[in-house]
């Protein structure tokens, strides 16, 4: 019986009952027929039908480990049970309708925690990866350069951007408080960003709302100096990351200073300093609380709050101004009593005060900029980046007087001969004995002629050069023989003043390269006989000085002139004609040379800038030092001869400078005038150089058709006559001499 019961299972009998019930006998269920291959099901009793056997549960991984014991197995089972409970049952089998698909509170909480964690990780990674750019936005930090007259008042500005940075300590606390009240009252306590403001800004960026507001001062500063002004979400995110990073690595004061100096205030201005000048014509340090509140309102949008742009703007400006003052009182930076004082809106200027650029001031700026870069050792790139305050030596009143005198002379020349007046040029400059350039006339208008006539080395000095020959002879003496000792020369030393005399050397007559004996001539061919050197200088007699130059030594004449201030580049060959003014100095250099004689023989190189600062900090400036050019007694003798020259040529003119119709005095003594005219043998230039009140002024008139050539043309009387010299009229008009 036993053998018969087991036999069907072993042989795979096709018992119908066993096939249809699956043989629930545990013992036989686990017995596999020897004839059944692994991975195949036993055959069923129906054609084409097969039945798979149910697999037994597999043991857990932990239970199969060699080290697994009962305790570890129980722990694994508990963990598995907890995991099954945490596993979301979704959709919910115990709910009906849409509730089957609604997440449970546990699922919502899990999703929120996961999102928060992921967000923290992403923001942390973004923060760590964010680096503060080393280079600021060059446009955001570029400034203009401002030039000042010698009295400290603004003269001109240059640069594409109207911005002048100011140190925070130079910005009044009331101004800072007004800005903080208007833009970010929690600035000193916030982390650099405002989450609510950032959300609003992002909503406006995605939508079509107003793009103003919603950012902290730190964020606005980041946008000003590191980013562009687009409205993308990416830019907003970068702005927030940079603001957080900047707030952790930079002091709040530095951030506020940068913000105040880079923000747009309208009227073409950037920064609180230029805004104060544009709207109230004053520096930021002179603003009161009421004015500061108005300027702070412009940060919300200058195009909406500048009262000069319309009545609607005016109304908005008044409302915003009042709100800012109220806000200052609310947060405690302005007392109620102070707030009550400001009831009237501080009307700004209708238009920003401008500078008189394009005419004479541009010539002044050109000279000052060139000198500033050289004296302060600034590269063109550094200087053009801006932020410099250049305090010039130019005197506003003297510049105006010189400009008016030239304008009057030009007007008369046009009436006299309009055709010749078109090519007539006037170069003029006034230089003090201490080297300060007080005034220049560079041309009719810098916008139409950038060529600066006061600094041009175009025409010869002519007989205006004679004082330098005289000074060299008095300083070094003369040599009548090649190897003999020098003979002393005094003002009373006599020389031949006749016209047409031959120029000699110790070896005999002087011959030019063409084999022609060189002779000297006086104006008009006039002869004077034996004449003292001082008298010859007073009468502007040429022949004695041509020979005097040869006797002194042309190298010594040239050296004396250069020590007195003339540039070596203005000299040509050392030939006898050099003593009669073949050199081509500028008006500035001629004025500086005559100033040397008035300064008792001490020379200071002409300079146009006395001081330079950048954003309030002093810039080291190399100033020219005074040096001895000629002996004091030599300078006194030259000055005396020039005084006689003025009195001889202008016997009817006042011998002293007049101010308001009365003689000007220095230390109780009348200011005497010294000077002489200068003419050239080929009539290409007319000069007058004179000194009064320790100021030397040189004026030159010449003709050049700039459209055709740089070669001087004959004056042909357009510059007056020796008795009625146009350069002298300009000199006397500029210096107030009768």
Where are the chain's structural domains?
102-131, 164-340, 462-607+629-735
Write out 542-560 in H/E/C secondary structure: HHHHHHHHHHHCHHHHHHH
What pLDDT digit, counting tens, does each position of 611-630 carry? 999 877 899 999 899 999 99
Using only C-alpha atoms, the chain has a radius of gyration, in whole angstroms, of: 48
The CA distance from 307 to 314, in Å, is 4
Structure tokens at 468: 């330098």
pLDDT tier at 484, thresholds 50, 70, 90:
confident
Comparing CA positions, the residue from 437, 415, 413 lying closest to residue 363 is 437
Query: Rounded to a whole number, what is the largest CA-CA distance in the chain?
Result: 176
pLDDT tens digit sequence for 283-331: 899 999 999 999 999 998 888 999 988 899 999 999 999 999 999 999 9
Of the segments 95-109, 484-498, 641-655, which one has the largest average pLDDT value?
484-498
CA 91 to chain centroid: 69
CATH fold group of domain 164-340? Penicillin binding protein transpeptidase fold (1.10.3810)
- pLDDT value, residue 655: 54
The yes or no reply on domain 462-607+629-735 and CATH 3.40.710.10 is yes
Q: Say yes or no to pLDDT of 83 above 50.
A: yes
Name the pairing type of β-strands 602-603 and 627-628: antiparallel
In whole angstroms, give the CA distance from residue 50 to residue 30.
18
Higher per-residue confidence, 649 vs 674: 674
Task: Judge whether residue 233 has pLDDT over 70.
Answer: no
Interval 166-210: pLDDT, tens? 899 999 999 999 999 999 998 898 876 766 665 665 555 555 444
Higher pLDDT, 11 or 579: 579
Question: How confident is the model over 697-728, as pLDDT tens digits?
Answer: 999 999 998 778 888 899 999 998 877 899 99
> Whole-angstrom Cα distance, residue 184 to residue 319?
18
**Residue 154 dihedral angles phi and psi, to the nearest 5°:** -60, 140
| pLDDT the model gives residue 163 | 78
| Residues 510, 241: Cα–Cα separation, whole Å | 85
pLDDT band at 42 (very low <50, low <70, confident <90, very high): very low
- Tell me the pTM: 0.69
Cβ neighbours of residue 238 under 8 Å, at least 6 residues apart?
130, 227
Which residues on neighbouring strands pair with residue 357, listed in sequence order?
none
Q: Is the pLDDT of residue 37 over 70?
A: no
The Cα–Cα gap between 443 and 632 comes to 36
- d(CA 515, CA 497) in angstroms, rounded, equals 25
pLDDT averaged over every residue in the chain: 81
Place of tokens 């017995």: 31
380: pLDDT strictly greater than 90: no
Q: Which two structure tokens, joined as six digits, stand for 611?
A: 């001081």
Mean pLDDT, residues 1-25 taken together: 42
What is the pLDDT averaged over residues 333-342? 93
Q: What pLDDT was estimated at residue 36?
A: 45
The helices-and-strands tally (H runs, E runs) of the chain is 28, 25
H/E stretch holding 476: helix 466-476
Question: Residue 417 pLDDT more than 60?
Answer: yes
CA 248, CA 130: separation in Å to the nearest integer?
13
Q: Do domains 164-340 and 462-607+629-735 have the same CATH topology?
A: no
Higher model confidence: residue 231 or residue 5?
231
Structure-token pair, residue 370: 């060139």
Whether residue 244 contacts residue 126, with contact meaning beta carbons closer than 8 Å, is answered with no
DSSP 42-78: PB-SSTT-B-PPPPPPPPPHHHHSTT--HHHHHHHHH
Q: What is the pLDDT of residues 129-171, one digit of tens each?
A: 555 555 555 556 678 889 999 999 989 888 767 777 889 999 9
């Amino acid at each position: 019986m036993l053998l018969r019961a087991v036999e069907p299972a072993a042989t795979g009998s096709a018992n119908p009952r066993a096939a249809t019930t699956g043989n629930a006998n545990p013992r036989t269920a686990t017995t596999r027929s020897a004839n059944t291959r692994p991975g195949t099901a036993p055959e069923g009793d129906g054609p084409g039908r097969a039945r798979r056997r149910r697999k037994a549960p597999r043991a857990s991984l932990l239970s199969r480990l060699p080290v697994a014991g009962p305790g570890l197995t129980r722990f694994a089972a508990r963990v598995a049970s907890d995991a099954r409970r945490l596993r979301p049952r979704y959709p919910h089998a115990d709910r009906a309708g849409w509730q089957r698909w609604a997440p449970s509170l546990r699922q919502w909480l899990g999703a929120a925690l996961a999102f928060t964690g992921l967000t923290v990780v992403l923001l942390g990674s973004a923060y760590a990866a964010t680096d503060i750019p080393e280079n600021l936005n060059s446009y955001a930090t570029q400034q203009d350069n401002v030039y000042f007259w010698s009295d400290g008042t603004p003269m001109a500005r240059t640069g594409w951007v109207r911005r002048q940075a100011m140190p925070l300590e130079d910005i009044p606390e009331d101004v800072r408080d007004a800005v903080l009240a208007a833009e970010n009252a929690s600035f000193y306590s916030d982390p650099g960003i405002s989450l609510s403001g950032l959300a609003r800004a992002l909503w406006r960026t995605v939508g079509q709302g107003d793009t103003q507001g919603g950012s902290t001062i730190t964020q606005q500063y980041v946008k000003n100096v590191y980013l562009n002004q687009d409205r993308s979400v990416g830019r907003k995110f970068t702005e927030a990351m940079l603001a957080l990073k900047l707030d952790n690595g930079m002091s709040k004061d530095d951030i506020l200073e940068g913000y105040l100096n880079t923000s747009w205030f309208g009227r073409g201005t950037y920064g609180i300093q230029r805004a104060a000048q544009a709207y109230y014509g004053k520096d930021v340090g002179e603003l009161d609380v009421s004015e500061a509140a108005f300027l702070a309102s412009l940060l919300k949008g200058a195009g909406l709050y500048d009262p000069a742009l319309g009545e609607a703007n005016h109304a908005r400006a008044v409302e915003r101004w009042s709100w800012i003052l109220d806000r200052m009182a609310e947060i405690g930076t302005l007392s109620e009593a102070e707030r009550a004082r400001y009831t009237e809106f501080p009307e700004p200027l209708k238009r920003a005060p401008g500078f008189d650029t394009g005419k004479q001031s541009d010539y002044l700026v050109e000279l000052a900029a060139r000198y500033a870069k050289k004296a302060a050792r600034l590269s063109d790139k550094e200087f053009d980046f801006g932020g410099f305050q250049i305090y010039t030596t130019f005197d506003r009143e003297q510049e105006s007087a010189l400009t008016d005198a030239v304008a009057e002379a030009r007007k008369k020349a046009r009436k006299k001969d309009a055709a010749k007046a078109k090519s007539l040029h006037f170069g003029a400059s006034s230089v003090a004995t201490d080297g300060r350039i007080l005034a220049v006339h560079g041309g009719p208008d810098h916008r139409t002629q950038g060529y600066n006539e006061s600094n041009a080395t175009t025409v010869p000095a002519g007989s205006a050069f004679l004082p330098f020959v005289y000074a060299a002879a008095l300083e070094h003496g003369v040599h009548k023989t090649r190897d003999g000792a020098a003979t002393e020369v005094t003002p009373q030393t006599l020389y031949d003043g006749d016209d047409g005399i031959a120029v000699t050397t110790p070896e005999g007559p002087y011959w030019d390269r063409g084999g022609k004996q060189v002779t000297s001539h006086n104006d008009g061919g006039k002869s004077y006989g034996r004449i003292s050197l001082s008298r010859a200088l007073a009468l502007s007699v040429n022949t004695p000085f041509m020979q005097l130059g040869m006797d002194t030594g042309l190298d010594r004449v040239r050296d004396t002139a250069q020590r007195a201030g003339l540039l070596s580049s203005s000299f040509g060959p050392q030939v006898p004609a050099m003593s009669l003014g073949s050199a081509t100095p500028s008006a500035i250099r001629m004025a500086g040379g005559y100033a040397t004689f008035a300064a008792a023989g001490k020379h200071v190189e002409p300079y146009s800038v006395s001081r330079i600062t950048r954003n309030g900090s002093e810039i080291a400036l190399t100033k020219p030092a005074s040096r001895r050019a000629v002996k004091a007694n030599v300078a006194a003798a030259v000055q005396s001869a020039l005084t006689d020259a003025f009195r001889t040529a202008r016997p009817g003119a006042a011998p002293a400078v007049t101010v308001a119709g009365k003689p000007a005095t220095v230390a109780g003594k009348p200011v005497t005038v010294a000077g002489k005219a200068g003419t050239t043998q080929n009539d290409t230039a007319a000069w007058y150089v004179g000194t009064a009140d320790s100021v030397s002024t040189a004026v030159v008139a010449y003709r050049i058709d700039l459209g055709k050539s740089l070669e001087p043309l004959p004056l042909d009387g357009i510059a007056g006559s020796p008795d009625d010299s146009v350069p002298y009229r300009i000199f006397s008009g500029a210096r107030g001499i009768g």
